[in-house]
Chains A and B, each alone.
Chain A
């Protein structure tokens, strides 16, 4: 299977005064094409830091991270990915359409194709009637949906979602989950970080579990859960084992 995302022996430490905190301690994993992979771990385990290395926000002390075969530090590695964070970062003075236009321009999508694609995306995320309103007037759920639309503008091969349903009401969560399931059916590779374990269990094919900056488990969801009642049960047990080991 073709590897879309590959992380090898990532090491990263942060200095807080005289103290040094090891945020990532030899993190390695691979994500195959077409898979939906859940990235889970407790708060402070290194999930967001790993995502930030993958997206080139931070350079690791050592180790490599490649997206579609290219080093994450290169701008071109980001041309075939889409990213949605927990709090979509939008230019509030723009309208929804202008924001998507900007995104499409940064991906060098031609003018003719841009319009068609943006209309389709606005329709998919149910924001067509709000496209000409300033983003500053959008609700939390609408922000998340315009965020998802911008992540899909370039028709990405890999989608990186960082807690995409966090803080949404049940209806908003359901809408986003349906969109993700739709993308999964389209064969997109999705790398999905979330605290919502039931969501991960429903949506993902595989999981990667991180704790204390180390990968502690990875594999197909059904295989890992085994005879446990659900993913949450398995997650808590795995954390306990890791705690005892540490």
Chain B
């Protein structure tokens, strides 16, 4: 565990010393504050819209950041050669991978907490009333989603380049989030092998839409039952474990040969 935390700390340090995190946080704050100044049809923007768009920005930016930062972790280590420094130390390759995941995920959750604070602060200042515990649930499931996305991006970049890995993760996330939940609608029009294939895709694909509970805050639907919440988190942990497990298998067998005259 000590090695995992040590690697996670290097990820935090890198995040703090790179500028992209600050730029994204500034963008989020800027757009959210900008909403408060918009005068639509001669009247102020309703505070529920600020919450809606603010949370949507938090979702989009946090996912984009997780994909981009996750996709550069391992390829950067290989490109800069620091992977050789790590591999000559008494650390298991899987520990290194877990450390990368933990550092990145916790960093993303921290940044996401700041997104939520900005959105909550701005909407509260405009007099919007919501159940805080529902927002906490939304945040928990959102954090779980980021854990899955980070694990996916680490997995894809173990056999693809940084650019290709990032793109593959982005496309996969969008498909799982937007296309997979709509498969049941398509099934009504299909039969035979197409229906079987669609059903297989539906049941085997990660259901990322389960981690987006924004509507519960926006429409005042109240809290999720604890059983459903725990079940969804357990499903998220399972997906994360699958992607990290697959990444671990590939990473353990990966050969590193920079500088060798082969």
Residues of A within 8 A of B (CB): 14, 21, 23, 43-45, 48-49, 52, 55-59, 75-79, 81, 83, 85-94, 98, 102-103, 105-108, 150
**Closest chain A CB from B79 CB (angstroms):** 10
User: Are A48 and B255 within 8 A (Cβ)?
Assistant: no
> B88 and A55: CB pair below 8 A?
yes
Q: How far is the CB of A33 from chain B (nearest CB, A)?
A: 20
Sample of 15 further A-B pairs with CB below 8 A, known A75-B92, A105-B2: A48-B260, A49-B261, A52-B260, A55-B88, A57-B257, A78-B89, A87-B259, A89-B80, A89-B83, A94-B10, A94-B13, A98-B13, A102-B6, A103-B89, A106-B90
Q: Which chain A residue has the least Cβ–Cβ distance from B2? A: A108
Docked complex Cα distance between A78 and B88 (Å): 6
With a cutoff of 8 Å between Cβ atoms, the chain B residues found around residue A52 in the complex are 256-257, 260
Partner of A57, one of B84, B92, B95: B84
CA distance A77 to B91 in the complex (A): 10
Whether B260 contacts A49 by the Cβ 8 Å rule is yes
Q: How large is the interface on B (under 10, 10 to 19, 20 to 34, 35 or more residues)?
A: 20 to 34
8 Å CB contact of B84 from A23, A89, A105: A89
What CA separation (Å) do A14 and B262 show in the bound complex?
Answer: 7
B80 nearest in chain A by CB position: A89
CA separation between A92 and B95, bound complex, in Å?
22
Which residues of chain A are within 8 angstroms of B131 by Cβ–Cβ distance? Answer: none
The reply to whether B90 and A93 contact each other, CB–CB distance below 8 Å, is no
By a CB distance below 8 angstroms, the chain B residues around A55 are 84, 87-88
With a cutoff of 8 Å between Cβ atoms, the chain B residues found around residue A94 in the complex are 10, 13
The B interface, classified by DSSP as helix, strand, loop or mixed, is: helix
- B:195-221 near A, CB below 8 Å: none
- Shortest Cβ distance from B103 into chain A, in angstroms? 13
Q: Are A92 and B255 in contact (CB under 8 A)?
A: no
Min CB gap A8→B, angstroms = 20
* Cβ contacts B1-34/A at 8 Å (1 or 0 each): 0110010011001100110000000000000000
Are B257 and A93 in contact, with the CB atoms below 8 A? no
- A93 adjacent to B18 (CB under 8 Å): yes
Closest to B92 in A: A75
- A79 in contact with B90 given A57-B256, A59-B255, A150-B85 (CB within 8 Å): yes
B80 touches A92 (CB 8 A): yes
Cβ B91 vs Cβ A91 within 8 A: no
Interface residue B81 (Cβ < 8 Å from any Cβ of A): yes
Q: A75-B91, A87-B81, A93-B13 are in contact. Are A106 and B255 (CB under 8 A)?
A: no
CA distance A18 to B83 in the complex (A): 29
Q: List 26 A-B contacts (CB under 8 A).
A: A49-B261, A49-B262, A55-B88, A56-B87, A57-B255, A57-B256, A58-B255, A75-B91, A75-B95, A76-B90, A78-B88, A78-B90, A85-B81, A89-B80, A90-B82, A91-B14, A92-B80, A93-B13, A98-B13, A102-B6, A105-B2, A105-B6, A106-B89, A107-B89, A108-B90, A150-B85
Residue of B nearest to A91 (CB): B82
Contacts of A102 in B (CB 8 A): 6, 9-10
Quick check: A43 and B85 within 8 Å, CB to CB?
no
- Of A14, A57, A93, A98, which is within 8 A of B87 by CB? A57
Contacts of B95 in A (CB 8 A): 75
Q: Which residues of A sit under 8 angstroms from B80, Cβ to Cβ? A: 89, 91-92
Q: Which residue of A lies closest to B18 (CB)?
A: A93
A48 near B261 (CB under 8 angstroms)? yes
Tell me which residues across on chain B come within 8 A of A49, comparing CB atoms.
Answer: 257, 260-262
Q: Please name all residues of chain B whose beta carbon is closer than 8 Å to the beta carbon of A48 when the two chains form the complex.
A: 259-261
Complex Cα–Cα for A55 and B83 (A): 12
Q: Whole-angstrom distance between the alpha carbons of A58 and B83 in the complex?
A: 13
Q: Which of A44, A93, A103 contacts B17 (CB 8 A)?
A: A93
Q: Which residues on A sit within 8 Å (CB–CB) of B90?
A: 75-79, 106-108
Question: Of residues 50 to 85 in B, which have CB atoms within 8 Å of A's CB atoms?
Answer: 80-85
Residues of chain B lying within 8 A (CB to CB) of residue A56: 87-88
Name the B residues within 8 Å of A92 (CB-CB). Answer: 80
- The answer to whether A85 touches B84, judged by C-beta atoms less than 8 angstroms apart, is yes
Residues of A within 8 A of B87 (CB): 55-57
A212 to chain B, nearest CB (A): 12
B91 to chain A, nearest CB (A): 6
**Chain B residue contacts of A21, Cβ below 8 A:** 262
Residues in B with CB closer than 8 Å to A86 are 259
Which residues on the A side are within 8 Å of B255 (C-beta)? Answer: 57-59
Contacts A52-B256, A59-B255, A90-B82; A81 near B262 (Cβ below 8 A): no
State whether A85 and B259 are in contact (beta carbons under 8 Å apart), knowing that A91-B82, A102-B6, A106-B3 are contacts in the complex: yes
Q: In whole angstroms, how far apart are the Cα atoms of A45 and B260 in the complex? A: 10
Q: Collect the chain A residues with CB atoms within 8 Å of residue B3's CB.
A: 106
